[in-house]
Structure 1
Amino acid sequence: MSILSEQLTGFFLDYWPHIALILSLAISIPTAIHAAMNKKEVRAAIGWVGVIILSPFAGSILYLIVGINRVRHSQITELRDTHIKEYVSYSSPPVTDLEKTFSAPFSSLQILGDRISHFQLRSGNHIQVLVSGDESYPAMLEAIESAEHSIALQSYIFDNDRIGKQFVDALVRAQARGVQVRVLIDAIGVKYSHPPVHRLLRQHGIRCALFMSISLLPTSFLRSPYANLRSHRKILIVDGRIAFTGGMNIREGFCSQYTNNHPAQDTHFSFEGPVVLQLMSTFAHDWEFTTNENLSYDFWCACVWKTPEPQVPARCIRSGPDRFLASTHSMLQGAFAIATKHIRIQSPYFLPDQVLMGALTTAARRGVRVDIVIPKHNNLRLVNAAMMAQIDQIIESGCHVWLDTGPFNHSKLITIDGQWSYVGSSNLDPRSLRLNFEIDIEIYCHNTAQKIEGLIDSCIASSENLTLESLAQQPYKKRLMNRVVWLASPYL
């Protein structure tokens, strides 16, 4: 045996470069072919193929871990295609007469939504705009306290802080009344507070699950959630009758009483009407994907609404790294294309790709007024640096960029021509547009659009206008650092 071992050792020492080359080719060629055949964006395909070829072993392992979307293609999309029509039942017909109250281009936008979303545009929805945690959390807690049979709550971040404990206590009381409660929190977002709130919920017997808490590798010390794919959705549905969604996570930093009257800002929305069914369908599929528990339509959805006036058309737009990839991207591209007067955008993380940037800059060159509000003091420094690195391309075309000097504003708001609004959880950055599971709602309503415009305009009134001159005055070292960070913007 010793002679054989010596011969094998000698063979390996003599030919190890050849062995390494053969192994690297055996690993890297199939992996690079997979990346080239499956990546839909040429930049992503080129990037992955380059990494794999230049570093065959490390690059291939990295691609196998974070480069392949193996999560939803074979599971949740099949579930949605099979059951979506069975799960959602309406008492109201789809909207077919938009041209009576909206300008002609919005009918084409409706057609775009019909082809992007599995949900139809439905009238009969009552919408309330809720500003900051001071308005949103009391309304949400009141709905939970009045729940009679069901509560479905989904959030990216659900902190175990003073406001988080108020939600936990309200959920515990609801369950004690016999209400069925389900809570879904993202596996990354739950880590924002310690100890994480899901432990507290489970101690009280609340059915709680973590979205995407999937182990990548069997080795215990390498186990971690699939951190690159996150559920960024924020949904609360009570009795299948009233729903809340928008940008609000559950955190005390958005409450005046816990921040010495200097809370961070955000905008949330309450809904009654058919769009609640669409939100419930979204939650139910995410819950079943995570837990394998099917939530029955008859129990979790209301059959009859007493929806107050005014009632308006609305629909959910889901997006995420599954069959709904680029849904929001396509909706916004279409919306920017039909604008004739005014585009207003408020986003904490404004990093549109070249396609959306082109749609905005083209609109500005067509004579459309484009106002974009971003925070002056961002809570994510790297994202802010990347934003500053490409914002000049927006300004050069005639778009107006405003730095909000007030408290950090987490709102995600878009309006077109004072008629159409797009609200929800999506930021205008690569993570929201490509990697996160998001939920947004398009709203055809003049009054709602005007309320949102008022919120954006009030921020503009106290903002600083960002100009090419002010960007050029930044120190060269800062501008260089911004560009370096910008190179990593798809992964921020």
Structure 2
Amino acid sequence: RALTEAGVTILPFNTRQGESNRFQLNFRNHRKIVVVDGEVAYVGGLNVGDEYLGLDPKMSPWRDTHVEVRGLVVQGVQLSFAEDWYWAAGEVLSGLNWTPRAVEGGEVVALCLPSGPADRLETATLYFLSAINHAQRRIWVASPYFVPDEQIVSALQLAALRGVDVRILIPKNPDNLMVGLSAYSYLEELEAVGVRVFRYKPGFMHQKVMLVDDLAASVGTANFDNRSFRLNFEVSMILVDPQFARTVEAMLEADFARSEPAYASELTDASFPFRLAVKVSRLMAPLQ
């Protein structure tokens, strides 16, 4: 109310003028986008809320990753927001700056990759599959929700079998019980081929980051789950640059140092009720 009274326009994403409505109840906009004057953009895991500032004692300390970009790639982020605004309001935003200043000395190859159920193809799935299949040295993935479909699991297994260092980082203390249980169900088939899974111990880890070899990394909103692959409107910032890749490598290495390995034996040695709950959660994975 305070924002509205101050002149801020706030719209729910799932409303649209007219008779048709392309959005189903299970779809949602999961993008986190900030664009400033068409010159600077921010993309990543941070929403606007107290818990993201570490003020929720149950979730603190909060671990997330956001990226700031400048230059021509800002056009892509702004276009994603403008399209979302059109779906919500039926309004084409005018007066936007579509000619951001070039970054002096900037040589980073950057791509803003929006994805969602309105796309003709499953953009997020295709991106992750392509990155995993082309990796030669490593694939490091950090995601709070790890409920991939079979083709993603197979791609991770094949990568590990050809000698790629495949690591998955998930939170030790999930904020969603069903998703947390589902993650256990993947341990055996991943561990069998050399994929390593780690649980981040402090607070709650919410970042969505992928590092590919020593060359590329992505930061965005898409989790490693069916909801992000097919049901959510997401956005990822893909950056191809060795220096940025080294920065992400150091960041994730620090996260692994605060983590503990997860083993398949945790499930096989667990009680029958727990193992049953994990199996039920896995069966419901496509709905999570």
Which protein shows a greater Rg? 1
Other-structure match for 1:406: 202
Answer with 318-327 or 481-490: which moved more: 318-327
Distance 1:485 1:348 in 2: 16
SS in 2 for 1:211: coil
- What residue identity is the alignment partner of 1:439? V
Q: Check the 8 A contact 1:345/1:372 in 2, yes or no.
A: yes
Q: Under a length normalisation based on structure 2, what TM-score does the superposition of the two structures give?
A: 0.92
Which residue pairs with 2:4 in the alignment? 202
Identity %, equivalent residues:
31
- In the TM superposition, residue 415 of structure 1 has moved relative to its aligned partner by 0.7
* AA of the residue aligned to 1:440: S
Which structure has more relative contact order (CA 8 Å, sep 6+)? It is 2
1:396 to 169, 192, 199: 192
Question: 1:281 is matched with which residue?
Answer: 79
Summarize the Cα distance change of 1:306–1:463 in structure 2 as closer, same or farther, 3 Å threshold: same
SS in 2 for 1:437: strand
Letter in 1 for 2:282: W
What is the CA–CA distance in structure 1 between the aligned matches of 2:276 and 2:16, rounded to whole Å? 38
Rounded Cα–Cα distance in structure 2 between residues aligned with 1:434 and 1:483 = 22
Q: Does the alignment pair 1:427 with 2:223? A: yes
Looking at structure 2, the residues matched to 466 and 258 of structure 1 have their Cα atoms a distance apart, in angstroms, of 26
Q: Does residue 143 of structure 2 align to residue 347 of structure 1?
A: yes
The correspondence of residues 324-403 of structure 1 with structure 2, limited to 5 A, is 324-403=120-199
Structure 1 letter corresponding to 2:68? S
Partner residue of 2:33 out of 223, 229, 235: 235
2:12 partner letter:
L
- CA drift at 1:288: 1.1
CA distance 1:230–1:304, shift in 2 (3 Å): closer
For 1:260 and 1:333, how far apart are their aligned partners in 2?
34
Map of 1:316 onto structure 2: 112
Q: What is the correspondence of 1:34-433 to structure 2 with a 5 Å cutoff?
A: 199-213=1-15, 226-256=24-54, 262-296=60-94, 299-305=95-101, 307-433=103-229
8 Å CA contact 2:191–2:263 kept in 1: the answer is yes
Unaligned runs of 5+ in 2: 18-22
Match of 1:79 in 2: none
Offset, 1:405: 1.1
One-letter amino acid of the structure 2 residue matched with residue 430 of structure 1: N
CA contact under 8 A between 2:145 and 2:170: conserved in structure 1?
Answer: yes
Deviations 1:136-174 (A, max 9, x none): xxxxxxxxxxxxxxxxxxxxxxxxxxxxxxxxxxxxxxx
> Following the alignment from structure 2 to structure 1, what is the Cα–Cα distance between the partners of residues 214 and 103?
24
- SS of residue matched to 1:328: helix
Judged with a 3 Å threshold, the aligned counterparts in structure 2 of structure 1 residues 340 and 256 are, in CA distance, closer, same or farther, namely: same
Deviation track 1:364-390 (CA, whole Å, cap 9, x = no partner) reads 000111111111111111110111123
1:463 maps onto 2:265 in alignment: no
Aligned equivalent of 2:20 = none
* Partner SS state of residue 63, structure 2: coil
CA distance in 1, matches of 2:273, 2:59: 36
Question: 1:258 Cα deviation (Å)?
Answer: 6.9
Residues 451-483 of structure 1 deviation map (CA, whole Å, 9 limit, x = unaligned)? 112121111112111122233221121011111
Q: Does 1:450 align with 2:246?
A: yes
Supply the AA of the counterpart residue of 1:369: D
Give how far 1:205 is off: 2.2
Distance 1:310 1:406 in 2: 36
Q: Is the 8 A contact 2:144 2:205 kept in 1?
A: yes
1:200 partner amino acid: A
Check 1:419–1:228 CA distance in 2 against 1; reply closer, same or farther (3 A cut).
same
Q: Distance in 2 between matches of 1:491 and 1:253?
A: 26
**Cα drift, residue 259 of structure 1:** 5.2
What's the CA shift string for 1:198-251, capped at 9, x where partnerless?
A: x43223221111100479xxxxxxxxx943010000101011110111111111
Give TM-score scaled by structure 1 length.
0.55
Q: Which runs of 4+ in 1 moved over 4 A?
A: 256-261
Aligned residue pairs total 283
Give secondary structure in 1 for the equivalent of 2:62: coil
Query: Per the alignment, do residues 442 and 304 of structure 1 end up closer, same or farther by CA in structure 2, a change over 3 Å counting?
Result: closer
- Residue deviations 1:43-96, cap 9 Å, x none? xxxxxxxxxxxxxxxxxxxxxxxxxxxxxxxxxxxxxxxxxxxxxxxxxxxxxx
Please report how far the alpha carbon of residue 325 of structure 1 lies from its aligned counterpart in structure 2 after TM superposition: 3.9
In structure 2, the residue corresponding to 1:433 is in which secondary structure?
helix
> 1:274 is aligned with what amino acid?
L
Preserved CA contact (<8 Å) 1:239 1:302: no
One-letter code aligned to 1:443? L
SS of 1:209's partner is coil
Unaligned runs of 5+ in 1: 1-198, 216-224
Give the conservation status (yes or no) of the 8 Å contact 2:38–2:100: no
